[in-house]
Chains A and B, each alone.
Chain A
Amino acid sequence: MITTFTPVEALLGGSLIGIAAVALMAVHGRVAGMTGILTGAILPKGDWDWRVAFLVGAIAAPGVITLLTGVALPLQADLPSWAIILGGLLVGIGVTFGGGCTSGHGVCGIARLSRRSTVATATFMAATLVTVFVIRHVLGGF
């Protein structure tokens, strides 16, 4: 499925992600990693309130955008359910062992010049690249 290059939206959206990451550190002293925030919300160790609030805010985003602009979130996932479930399981297992995902390692960790986060990000980006190549160009898609 072809998608078009959207540099303005990419820069605007990326900057907002960065602003949120800086704000969460400035106000709450926390890394804006979705894996850590989500895990702490479903397996609480005492401070689940701000985590749940962050998640609710994030989930409200598509609705708020639609309310303000009338534009619905373009979400194209024409994959069989088994692939979505397999992908979800692997992501959940992987980010828990790896201690973070794109937001935690890829944005917040690299921004702190963390060696662990840089290695983690290089590893998952390479693994994703190879996986997409194999699925699309070796197996011929799902």
Chain B
Amino acid sequence: MRRVLSALAIGLVFGVGIVVSGMANPAKVLNFFDVFGTWDPSLALVMASALAVTFLGYKVVLQRPAPVLERTFHLPAKRQLDLPLIGGSALFGIGWGIAGFCPGGAIPALGSGQSSPITFVGAMIVGILLVNGLGALSARRRALA
């Protein structure tokens, strides 16, 4: 129960940050990338402040033996730069540039009740399921071979 309430509160702070910062507004996001047009530099400050706070906070937190409600810190173990990382990130960027929503912006935007984030998140989930389905399929084929 503590785990759920805590995650709920942290999710709310995250969502409020996203909404206040403008990351949930596609027009603002796309204008940040439109350096040669209607440029709006706001998102540079969003990224910079989020990074600065996280960098400093992680320095303190990751020195502790364990998180408050779990046994261990779950940190990504992968180190190598590979094609899925770079190709996937490029595809993500193209999609972000088309629609103006990233996952962290679109999920809080769902709460606005407007149709565009709902459409976007629906399509995004289809994309996530497609790739995970393909991954499961190829893993099964490898296991059978």
Contacts and interface: CB of A to CB of B under 8 A. Distances in A.
A75 B25 contact: yes
A96 B127 contact: yes
Question: Interface of chain A, helix or strand or loop or mixed?
Answer: helix
A54 B40 contact: no
B69 to A, nearest CB: 5
Interface in B1-60: 3-28, 30-31, 33-38, 40-55, 57-58
Contacts of A54: 7-8, 10-11, 14
Question: Interface of chain B, helix or strand or loop or mixed?
Answer: helix
A88 B8 contact: no
Interface residues of A, number: 110
B42 A75 contact: no
Interface string A2-20: 1111110111111111111
Contacts of A123: 85-86, 89-90, 93
A127 B89 contact: yes
B87 A42 contact: no
Nearest to B37: A136
Nearest to B72: A29
Contact of A88 (B10, B78, B119): B119
8 contacts: A16-B14, A30-B74, A55-B107, A61-B12, A62-B112, A79-B98, A91-B103, A111-B54
Interface of B: 3-28, 30-31, 33-38, 40-55, 57-58, 61-62, 64, 66-76, 78-81, 84-112, 114, 116-117, 119-132
